[in-house]
Structure 1
Amino acid sequence: MEMTSMKMKRKLEDRFVNEAWNTHFDREQDTFRIEWMDSKQGVTISLPGIIAKWENRKEKALDELEGHIKEALTIMAEEQTLVGKEENIFPVIRSGSFPTESNKGVPLIYTEHTGETRVYYAIDLGKSYRLIDEDLLNKEQWEQERVHQVAMFNVRRLSTDLKSEEVAGNTFYFLSSKDGYDASRILNEAFLEGMKAQAEGELAVGVPHQDVLIFADIKNKMGYDILAQMMMQFFADGRNPITALPFLYEDQKLEPIFIMAQKKPEQDKE
């Protein structure tokens, strides 16, 4: 049986029957939305992606989707607070093109980081998190600087375990704990200074997506080309892409590196 958007819409409607929720099918955008009637907060799903998952895993894929969405809707309904949750406030790195307002039009709290990235702030809720906006800040009567300082303290508490790989005389290090804050470790200045101290060549840093932080100890020209290819691959595959541009770390500053990719070396002819 071929799965169509209309058939998937009906499957999802059956799973999200709730007197407090509305569901809406957008035929033009090929999306399905579930939202709270009172607040209009909700989740929008792209149907082609769900259909692809259903074709591979059938109802198990929909079981997982249902669980994630119901948890997200439950969290949306809870009144969030900063007081007493200081240990759960973390910075999150996003691209410079990431929205500066919530879906409800409320300005999000953020700090400029580099020309390519910004730092937003989130309350960790376990399996998900909520970005902190001005409404929450004002309700709690917190200053943005307080949020920033708490988040910076917490990111320094996160693990910094790395895996390394030698390629063409260069050393690449990868941090991927999958806790949602791997890229955020780039804000841990002590961590960066420690990596700089042990680097034999130039130290480059990359945050292609949310769930990885890359260090590269560049010792020859080939290292830059390998790093550029690596960054593009991670950026394309990431769930929350940030930037495909790596940064050179020098004098406690991050400067973007624009690498002109070279051709791969040809195999020696016999």
Structure 2
Amino acid sequence: MKMTSRKMKDELEKRLINASRTSYYDRDKDTYRIENKESGKGITISLPDIVAKWEIHKEKAIEEVVYYTEEGLQAMEGALILEGKEKNIFPVIRSTSFPKESSEGIPFLFDEHTAETRVYYAFDLGSTYRIIDEQLMQKEQWDAKRIKEIALFNVRSLSTDMKTDSVAGNIFYFLNKNDGYDASRILNEVFLKQMEKKIKGTMAVAVPHQDVLIIADVQNDTGYDILAQMNMSFFASGRVPITALSFLYENGEFEPIFILGKNKKRN
């Protein structure tokens, strides 16, 4: 069976629409939007992206988008209270292509991080989370500084146990807890400083998608090639891709590196 945007829209409609929701199909933009009838809040899905994933993963691709859309819609439909639930606030790393505002035009709370990444702030709901926006901050009467301090404190409390692999004289460390905040550990400065002390060669860091953090002890040119291939592979397979570029880490600063063959170029 050949999957098309129209067929994918019909499939999603069967699984996601109920009495409290409505949906819109935009042929020109090739998107499908599902909204709560009462609040007007919803999620817009790019159909070509899901069709492309379906070509590779078939039913799993549909189940995945249905799961995350359902979780997101339920989060929007429920009331959210920050007070007394400070332990649920965390930073999340996203690509710079990630929207700066919600589909309703409400600005998200975020900070620029590197040339490739931004830091957003999220309220953990268990199996999903909601990106904190200005409307929620105003309703709760919380300021940005308070949210950011709490989020960074909480990310430092997360486990930093890593798996290790040695390839061609280079050491690669992987953090993959699948808690939604693996990439967020890149904001734990104490952890990075501890890792920096262990590095014998050059320290490189990668966050190809939200569920993995890679730290490389690059000790020869082959190490850069391996890191580039590894990072691209993770980036292509991640549920929430961030960036296929790696970063040199030195003195608390991140510098993107472009790796071509055995030549490495700094941006």
Matched, 1:233 2:244: no
TM-score, normalized by length of structure 2?
Answer: 0.86
Query: What amino acid maps onto 2:165 in structure 1?
Result: E
Query: What amino acid maps onto 1:247 in structure 2?
Result: F
**Does the Cα contact within 8 Å between 2:21 and 2:37 map onto a contact in 1?**
yes
Query: What amino acid maps onto 2:184 in structure 1?
Result: S
Q: What residue number does 1:268 align with? A: none
Q: What residue number does 1:207 align with? A: 207
Q: What residue number does 1:244 align with? A: 244
* Distance in 1, Cα, partners of 2:26 & 2:41: 17
> Superposed, which structure 2 residues align to 1:131-170 within 5 Å?
131-170=131-170
Structure 2 gap ranges (5+): none
**Does the Cα contact within 8 Å between 2:35 and 2:43 map onto a contact in 1?**
yes
* Distance in 1, Cα, partners of 2:260 & 2:99: 29
1:208 aligned counterpart, secondary structure? coil
Query: Quick check: 170-179 or 236-245, which moved more?
Result: 236-245
Deviation at 1:44, TM superposition (A): 3.4
Q: What residue number does 1:185 align with? A: 185
Query: What amino acid maps onto 2:214 in structure 1?
Result: I
Distance 1:226 1:104, change over 3 A: same
Q: What residue number does 1:104 align with? A: 104
Q: What residue number does 1:266 align with? A: none
Deviation at 1:112, TM superposition (A): 1.9
Q: Percent identity?
A: 56
* Distance in 2, Cα, partners of 1:99 & 1:120: 10
> Superposed, which structure 2 residues align to 1:74-153 within 5 Å?
74-153=74-153
**Does the Cα contact within 8 Å between 2:43 and 2:103 map onto a contact in 1?**
no
Q: What residue number does 1:37 align with? A: 37
Structure 1 gap ranges (5+): 264-270
**Does the Cα contact within 8 Å between 1:172 and 1:216 map onto a contact in 2?**
yes
Larger of the two Rg values belongs to structure:
1
Q: Provide the aligned length of Structure 1 versus Structure 2.
A: 262
* Distance in 2, Cα, partners of 1:231 & 1:202: 17
Q: What residue number does 1:259 align with? A: 259
Distance 1:13 1:54, change over 3 A: farther
* Distance in 1, Cα, partners of 2:54 & 2:190: 42
**Does the Cα contact within 8 Å between 1:152 and 1:188 map onto a contact in 2?**
yes
1:222 aligned counterpart, secondary structure? helix
1:137 aligned counterpart, secondary structure? helix
* Distance in 1, Cα, partners of 2:76 & 2:211: 23
Q: What residue number does 2:220 align with? A: 220
Deviation at 1:113, TM superposition (A): 1.5
